[in-house]
Amino acid sequence: MARSSTGTAVAALTAAAIAAVGFLAYQANATAPDHPTQARSDSRSSSPKDGGKGKEGRDAKKVPADSGTGRRVVYAVGAKRVWLVGADERALRTFKVAPSSVDPEPGAYGVTSRSAGLVGSDGVQVEHVVIFHQANGIVFGFSSALDGSTPNPNARKKTGGIRQGREDGSAMWDFATNETKVVVVP
């Protein structure tokens, strides 16, 4: 019985189409922002080695003066910014975050637990969860949403999640091990 060349051609075209779709999906993922609400040029983290343009770039690198000393995570509630500070008092990394409906009180805390992944108090799947405080039934911690979403600060439900981009979440995860100091400033 003779083989049909049509079947071979269809199989080759199908394989080529699947490869093209896979490549396009990879390209789209590689250029997507950490947060869908941010433009690509703004979604990258500021590190002390980044040039930073203008006053915002320079000021963003400065660790708040009233944030203690030593190796620590500093979270400035008003600026919605985090600094990962080394033992030498230099910011190793700084980045913007998106808070939930309740902010932690200013003070010094310590990382009490960590989870590689779970469902956040707002029902969103998150990763790199770093918990540092609990008060009045509200758990405060940093996490990254797998879908890139940010919490609704005006939500009726009281939640204490502080969302960061996935790249920043990975850096936080590596830096903030159990008992790492977390300092919250106004």
pLDDT of residue 45: 42
- Inter-residue long-range contacts of 27-33, CB under 8 Å, 24+ positions, other chains counted: 32/148, 33/148, 33/165
Nearest C-alpha neighbor of 92 from the set 45, 47, 59: 47
pLDDT of residue 28: 35
Q: Sketch out the chain's domains with CATH numbers.
A: 40-185 (2.40.440.10)
pLDDT of residue 60: 76
DSSP states of 39-105 as a string? -HHHHSPB-TTS---HHHHHHHHSPPTTS-SSSEEEEETTTTEEEEE-TTS-EEEEEE-EE-SSPPP
pLDDT of residue 22: 39
Distances from the Cα of 96 to the Cα of 53, 121, 142, angstroms: 16, 21, 12
pLDDT of residue 51: 35
Nearest C-alpha neighbor of 120 from the set 140, 136, 135, 105: 140
Distance CA 137, CA 164 (A): 22
pLDDT of residue 3: 55
One digit per residue, the tens of pLDDT, for the chain of length 186 reads 555 566 565 554 444 445 433 333 333 333 334 443 333 333 334 444 333 344 455 667 899 999 999 999 999 999 999 999 999 999 999 999 999 999 999 999 999 999 999 999 888 999 999 999 999 999 999 999 999 999 888 888 899 999 999 999 999 999 999 999 999 999
Q: Is there a contact between 164 and 176 (Cβ–Cβ < 8 Å)? A: no
